[in-house]
Amino acid sequence: MRFMLAHLEKIRRAKLKNEAETLRRCLASCAEVDTYVESQISNIDNHAEGNGTIEFLVSMPR
């Protein structure tokens, strides 16, 4: 019985390690996608002034 419980525990640990590695890979992939998307975005902000002049702040992709 003790051998069987130890074997089950070993299987559970292996499964958790596998799931942890899968999660690490997914997070790394998401971080890469986020970095790429951030590099492709341009932000345009309207900074209106009270004197009728409109200024735009534009950031371009790196």
Give the pLDDT band of residue 58 (cuts 50, 70, 90). low
Q: Which amino acid is located at 44 in the chain?
A: I
Give 13's strand partners.
none
Q: Do residues 28 and 22 lie in contact, with contact meaning Cβ atoms separated by under 8 Å? A: no
Handedness of CA 14, 20, 26, 28 (dihedral sign): negative
Position 4 scores a pLDDT of 87
Question: In this structure, what DSSP letter does residue 15 have?
Answer: H
pLDDT digits (tens, 9 = 90+) for 7-22: 999 999 999 999 999 9
Rounded to two decimals, the pTM is: 0.57
Residue 59 pLDDT greater than 80, yes or no: no
Quote the CA–CA distance of 6 and 12 in Å, as a whole number: 10
